Amino acid sequence: MDQSQAPVLEALAAYHANAQTPFTPPGHKQGRGVDPRVLAVLGAGVFTSDVLATAGLDDRSSSHGWIEHAQQLMAEAVGADHTFLSTCGSSLSVKAAMLAVAGPHQKLLVGRDAHKSVVAGLIVAGIRPVWIEPHWDPDLHLAHPPGADAFEEALREHPDAAGALVTTPTPYGTCGDLEAIAEVCHRRGKPLIVDEAWGAHLPFHPELPTWAMDAGADVCVTSVHKMGSGLEQSSVFHQQGDLVDPVALKQCEDLLGTTSPSVLIYAALDGWRRQMVQHGRALYDAALGLAHDLRHRIDTVDGLHVHGRDDFCGPGLAADLDPLQIIIDISVLGTTGYRAADWLRSHHQINLHVSDHRRISAQLTHADDSTTTDVLHHALTDLVANADALKPAVPVHVPPPDRLRLEQVLLPRDAFFGRIEQVEPAKAEGRITAEMITPYPPGIPAALPGERLDGAVIDYLTSGVQAGMVIPDAAQPDLATIRVVIED
């Protein structure tokens, strides 16, 4: 196929050139009805290109297939059999993948370090999770993707499982051994779904970790807005092989997705694919060189340590690391990542990625250059110089890995929709949670519906909130109360 084409962008340009007059949604009529104060912030171009996909960009009765063509180009660009563009984020895409593999009350092997969107999929579909333990680093208090041996053991114990789902890379950039996990699943005829939300860039440079399709995954979900040039909410999911029916996968996406998809998001996805095919190798040559230089510069600052493969990769840990995720341990400074991130935003107008009880992180992409990395390096140097002002930090009581894992008592769906009450944290120990309690970012639930709470996890969460941890999905984000199941 001609990868220099961008069919959605070209159709949008043709729409503008033809001076169409819409009597359809959206009601702003290409920005003519928008408050000038809104236009002053968002710009007129956003509204001019916000048109319907059908009876707008495309003809109502004789589709030209712009979006289908864009999906075929994307599939060819990355070597997938089928690709689907989504305007509802990977939170929807991963649910569609789960529904295409497992139905109500069927088992699905899921890494316990899954994103909250996966847990939401379990609730929506009524799937019974078989949790696969991640590789826990007890010294750094960090989870890496589970290994193939854990999936092997789980499939021996649960041969009736419909398939498996693993998250890699993690928000910390650590990757699982996907080839080995796929081999374990395929030996038993089970499909493997990979939540590769942080890996949109992986197909486009050989020095980046192996991406899911090359490793043999059956379905891969990726968030182009995270590491690519897509707009927020842009997602792509890819399919290959015969273990997951692409028609069923598309129908599941249609079941959950919007009937009013954003042409803006489609167009940006289309243009990003063309950019990566034509210039991705050179762009990531530059990005990787920039990351290597930045890692060295930060590591020479007293009090800061940039985690690399020596820290994160090895037996019982991660299989690989995306070097564009700059994970910085600041524990020597005697403060938390929460306080450091807030200070950097307040004093240097820098927005960091993940922050936790001892780390901060910066995400580099092909969009960064020496100007942005110099700003970051200067700000981090200033952070160290002012570290005393961030003390004393409220301690976060992080339990050992074995205490972080809670017993799954009920199906997530049954707990979420069951009879509930809200109780104070002191009265929640031993109760079954009815909500997700998720430090964000990275968005991995510390407790999820159907798990029985214990004192160590409650102490971790409540001390974390006092220290600056953000828990946006709890009914009460300050954890003044916790939603729990009323048990007979």
The crossing angle, in degrees rounded to 10, of helices 66-78 and 263-299 is 30
Question: Phi then psi for 23, rounded to 5 degrees?
Answer: -120, 45
Give the pLDDT mean for 171-187: 97
DSSP 283-334: HHHHHHHHHHHHHHHHHTSTT-EE--HHHHBSTTSBSEE-TTEEEEE-GGGT
pLDDT in tens, 319-331: 999 999 999 999 9
pLDDT at 96 over 90: yes
Task: Please give the pLDDT value at position 284.
Answer: 98
pLDDT at 479 over 70: yes
CA 191/CA 102 separation, integer angstroms: 10
Higher pLDDT, 305 or 11: 305
Strand runs labelled E in 300-457: 305-306, 320-321, 325-329, 359-363, 407-408, 420-423, 451-452
Cα dist from 434 to 111, 441, 455, 485, whole Å: 20, 21, 17, 6
Identify the DSSP state of 426: G
Residues of the chain above pLDDT 70, percent: 98
In this structure, the dihedral spanned by the alpha carbons of residues 145, 147, 152 and 157, taken in order and rounded to 10 degrees, is -50
Confidence of residue 20 (pLDDT cuts 50, 70, 90): confident
Task: Please give the pLDDT value at position 356.
Answer: 93
pLDDT at 61 over 80: no
Task: Please give the pLDDT value at position 21.
Answer: 85
SS3 440: coil
- What the chain holds in terms of domains, given with CATH numbers, is 62-268 (3.40.640.10), 281-390 (3.90.1150.150), 401-485 (3.90.100.10)
The crossing angle, in degrees rounded to 10, of helices 370-385 and 263-299 is 50
Confidence of residue 47 (pLDDT cuts 50, 70, 90): very high
| Residue linked to tokens 């102490």 | 459
Residues in CB range of 444: below 8 A, 6 or more apart: 113, 114, 115, 116, 143, 438
Question: Phi then psi for 441, rounded to 5 degrees?
Answer: -70, 165
Task: Please give the pLDDT value at position 58.
Answer: 67
Residues in CB range of 251: below 8 A, 6 or more apart: none
| β partners of residue 193 | 165, 219
pLDDT in tens, 258-286: 888 899 999 999 999 999 999 999 999 99
pLDDT at 63 over 80: no
Provide the mean pLDDT of the chain.
94
Confidence of residue 56 (pLDDT cuts 50, 70, 90): low
Cα dist from 57 to 46, 49, 206, 312, whole Å: 15, 9, 36, 47
CA 451/CA 446 separation, integer angstroms: 10
Task: Please give the pLDDT value at position 276.
Answer: 98
pLDDT in tens, 456-469: 999 999 999 999 99
pLDDT in tens, 349-403: 999 999 999 999 999 999 999 999 999 999 999 999 999 999 888 999 988 877 8
Tell me whether residue 204 is exposed, middle or buried, using C-beta atoms within 10 angstroms of its C-beta: 0 to 12, 13 to 18, 19 or more: buried
pTM of the complete model = 0.94
* Element housing 175 (H / E): strand 174-175
Residues in CB range of 181: below 8 A, 6 or more apart: 147, 148, 151, 164, 166, 192
Task: Please give the pLDDT value at position 55.
Answer: 67
